[in-house]
Amino acid sequence: MTTILRDWSYRYQWFYDTVSALAALSVGGERRFRRLFLKDLTINPESKVLDLCCGAGQATQELVNHFQDVTGLDASPIAIKRARQNVPQAKYVEAFAEKMPFSDRTFDLIITNTAMHEMDLEQLQQIIQEVHRVLTSNGQFIIIDFHRPTNPFFWLPVATFLWLFETDTAWKLIGTDLKALLSKSGFKIESCQLYAGGSLQVLRSRV
Ligand SMILES: C[S@@+](CC[C@H](N)C(=O)[O-])C[C@H]1O[C@@H](n2cnc3c(N)ncnc32)[C@H](O)[C@@H]1O
């Protein structure tokens, strides 16, 4: 179940950005939200980095501030066009995350920001296997996405957000044990930090 607002958020970038900025208030604002992945991250500017499901380049923008070789991948040609305009410092590839056009062991770091909740379980499993394939040995995978709230006061705002903007895959994600899926595909879990009453997770794993 979703509403027309989901369609608008994909159609109008200003609307997506406004909703995203409002939602980010729950973790202290957009700037903090976009920098959550940096916590505990050892930055080697020469690392090859992939922003998986990059959208219009919102996370890519932060990545190019720290890394020289950043690629954004998204299945939507409109998203790729916007990302190219917004963050020209990165390279872009229009492709499905389930079947990435990259050789084995291409990237040192892969980040996916608020996109895995759009996938059904089968897609999620395929994507995790693909990420494992294209990461270098010891490469790192960071997932930033919804999580089942641990603070009961966050259930109402989260449920309202999911009802207005998301589909059933987001509800399924918060009921999915992502750590177990990653472990099954050969990842070692490094940490899982929760924010916004537990409704947002930053899950770090390594090949
Ligand atoms: C909610 S947006 C997140 C965008 C961006 N990462 C951000 O931080 O705002 C989800 C993105 O995932 C992309 N996407 C959805 N399914 C995909 C798939 N199977 N393969 C690649 N991209 C996909 C959509 O086109 C969309 O741009």
Ordered per-residue pLDDT tens for the chain, 207 residues: 678 877 877 777 887 888 778 888 888 888 899 899 998 898 999 999 999 999 999 999 999 999 999 999 999 999 999 999 999 999 999 999 999 999 999 999 999 999 999 999 999 999 999 999 999 999 999 999 999 999 999 999 989 988 888 889 999 999 999 999 999 999 999 999 999 999 999 999 999
The whole-model pTM stands at: 0.93
Site to substitute for ligand 1 among 18, 53, 81, most atoms within 8 A of C-beta: 53
Q: What does CATH list as the number for 4-206?
A: 3.40.50.150
Look-up of token digits 């607002």: 5
User: Where exactly are the structural domains of the chain?
Assistant: 4-206
pLDDT score for 144: 97
Q: What residue ranges in 46-129 does DSSP mark as E strands?
A: 48-52, 69-74, 91-94, 107-113
Cα 66 to ligand 1 centroid, rounded to whole Å: 22
User: 27-43 burial by CB neighbour count: b if 16+ within 10 A, else e?
Assistant: beebeebbebbeeeeee
Query: Which residues make Cβ contacts (< 8 Å) with residue 188, sequence separation at least 6?
Result: 205, 206, 207
What φ, ψ does residue 204 adopt, rounded to 5°?
-105, 130
Site to substitute for ligand 1 among 114, 118, 127, 169, most atoms within 8 A of C-beta: 118
- C-alpha 17/C-alpha 173 separation (Å) is 22
In whole angstroms, how far apart are CA 196 and each of 9, 23, 26, 54, 152? 22, 10, 5, 22, 11
Contact of 182 with 127, CB cutoff 8 Å? no
- What amino acid occupies position 7? D
pLDDT score for 91: 98
What is the residue with the minimal CA distance to atom 10 of ligand 1? 115
- C-alpha 2/C-alpha 199 separation (Å) is 19
Cα 95 to ligand 1 centroid, rounded to whole Å: 11
Which ligand 1 atom is the nearest neighbour of the CA of 97?
Answer: 20
Cα 54 to ligand 1 centroid, rounded to whole Å: 6
Q: Give the pair of three-digit tokens for residue 107.
A: 């990237």
- C-alpha 114/C-alpha 24 separation (Å) is 12
pLDDT score for 90: 98
Which ligand 1 atom is the nearest neighbour of the CA of 20?
Answer: 9
- C-alpha 117/C-alpha 166 separation (Å) is 8
Cα 126 to ligand 1 centroid, rounded to whole Å: 15
Cα 51 to ligand 1 centroid, rounded to whole Å: 10
Site residues for ligand 1, CB cut-off 6 Å: 53-55, 58-59, 74-76, 79, 96-98, 113-115, 118
Look-up of token digits 């939200």: 33
pLDDT score for 1: 62
| Cβ neighbour number for residue 44 with a 10 Å cutoff | 13
- C-alpha 140/C-alpha 127 separation (Å) is 14
Look-up of token digits 């957009």: 30
Which ligand 1 atom is the nearest neighbour of the CA of 55?
Answer: 27
